[in-house]
Amino acid sequence: MQFVENQVADDTLDLVCLMCPLHLIEPEEKLRYMKKGQVGEPV
């Protein structure tokens, strides 16, 4: 696994305390609207 350092995230997503299946649906929705090459960060 390779870690990326000094990269600014274009968007963030908080998945803490989401009930099933929202922890799977919300990231899919975010990824749908992100452009190719953008970086997402879980918080």
What DSSP string runs through 1-32? -----S---SEEE--TTPPTTHHHHHHHHHHH
Token pair 């970086």 is found at 39
Is residue 20 pLDDT above 70, yes or no? yes
The CA-to-CA distance between both ends of the chain, in Å, stands at: 19
Say what the pLDDT of residue 31 is.
86
Is residue 4 pLDDT above 70, yes or no? yes
Q: How many residues does the chain have?
A: 43
Is residue 2 pLDDT above 80, yes or no? no
Give the residue-averaged pLDDT of 21-40.
85
Say what the pLDDT of residue 1 is.
61
